[in-house]
Amino acid sequence: MYLSVFLTAFLAATVLPAQSEFVVVAAQRLGYDVWLIWWLASIGNTLGSVVNYVLGRYLVQYQDRRWFPFKPASLARGHRWFERFGKWSLLMAWAPFIGDALTFIAGMLRLSFWQFLILVFVSKAGRYAILLGIMQLF
């Protein structure tokens, strides 16, 4: 189950469709260690965002190709967030629809990798902490 938590969280942060919340909550409900679930989901989801960062850094020149993973509207929305909030917009990396684009754009704009990594980890780990905390109440 721990491997499933990590892999689902990783895939959910990439351009592949996946919902890690279901697996995280299921693991918690089955009695697995909450701290280990949180840690694995946070690391997996952050590493998935690193994939987007690397794609943004090295594959942006292919954005006009059909196979390119982000639609122009998604990139434009993410770019507006970056113009308005700068690197702090990465604190929204957990958000559906815009989060993946933000991590990709951070790579495009060649944001410092360490700044990227810290902000994205805080975002992702915070989301899982809130999710697991709320589920502990029920």
Residue range 86-97, pLDDT digits in tens: 899 999 999 887
Asked if 99 and 92 touch (Cβ cutoff 8 Å), the reply is yes
pLDDT digits (tens, 9 = 90+) for 24-62: 999 999 999 999 999 999 999 999 999 999 988 988 777
Domain parsing of the chain, residue ranges: 2-137
Q: How far is CA 22 from CA 27, 37, 131, in A?
A: 9, 12, 10
| Distance of alpha carbon 97 from alpha carbon 93, whole angstroms | 10
